């Protein structure tokens, strides 16, 4: 096994990524062509991707929501760090959409209800992964 390679996490410099910037005339906006990786999304956009995804930009930092948003963000970061998920915003959004579908979240549900269900489903997946790592009978 001399040809073994190990994955290491890459820390990106958030200063090289830009979110939406005002255009020269001040009346329109122009979007940056370089998209920040998922792990830098919060630093660049000043809110977590999960909050942006469920459209809770103004309320995500309320006491009840912070814990749920953090749990989901941590889960996605774990997937990125283990190589199970690509470190792009697009792949993270696709994963969130997949989680919504698996959790049976309806499109018409409110933001808080979506967030609670996503967080509970992520908690369930973590417990399931832990049990499979340790073996079912142990």
Look at residue 103 and tell me whether its pLDDT is greater than 90: yes
Q: Which two tokens stand for residue 14?
A: 């958030």
pLDDT, tens digit, 9 for 90 and up, residues 33-59: 567 899 999 999 888 999 899 887 777
The DSSP-derived string for 59-112 is TTTSHHHHHHHHHHHHHHHHHHHTTSS-SSHHHHHHHHHHHHHHHT--TTS-HH
Higher-confidence residue of 62 and 44: namely 44
Given this model, what pLDDT does residue 75 score?
96
């Amino acid at each position: 096994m001399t040809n073994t390679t190990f994955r290491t996490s890459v820390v990106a410099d958030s200063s090289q990524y830009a979110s939406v910037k005002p255009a020269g005339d001040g009346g329109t906006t122009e979007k940056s062509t370089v998209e920040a990786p998922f792990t830098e999304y919060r630093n660049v956009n000043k809110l977590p991707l999960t909050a942006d995804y469920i459209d809770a930009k103004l309320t995500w930092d309320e006491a009840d929501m912070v814990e749920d948003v953090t749990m989901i963000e941590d889960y996605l970061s774990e997937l990125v760090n283990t190589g199970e998920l690509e470190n792009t915003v697009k792949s993270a959004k696709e994963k969130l959409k997949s989680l919504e579908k698996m959790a049976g979240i309806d499109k018409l549900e409110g933001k808080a209800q979506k967030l609670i269900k996503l967080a509970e489903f992520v908690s369930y997946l973590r417990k399931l992964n832990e049990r499979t790592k340790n073996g079912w009978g142990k």
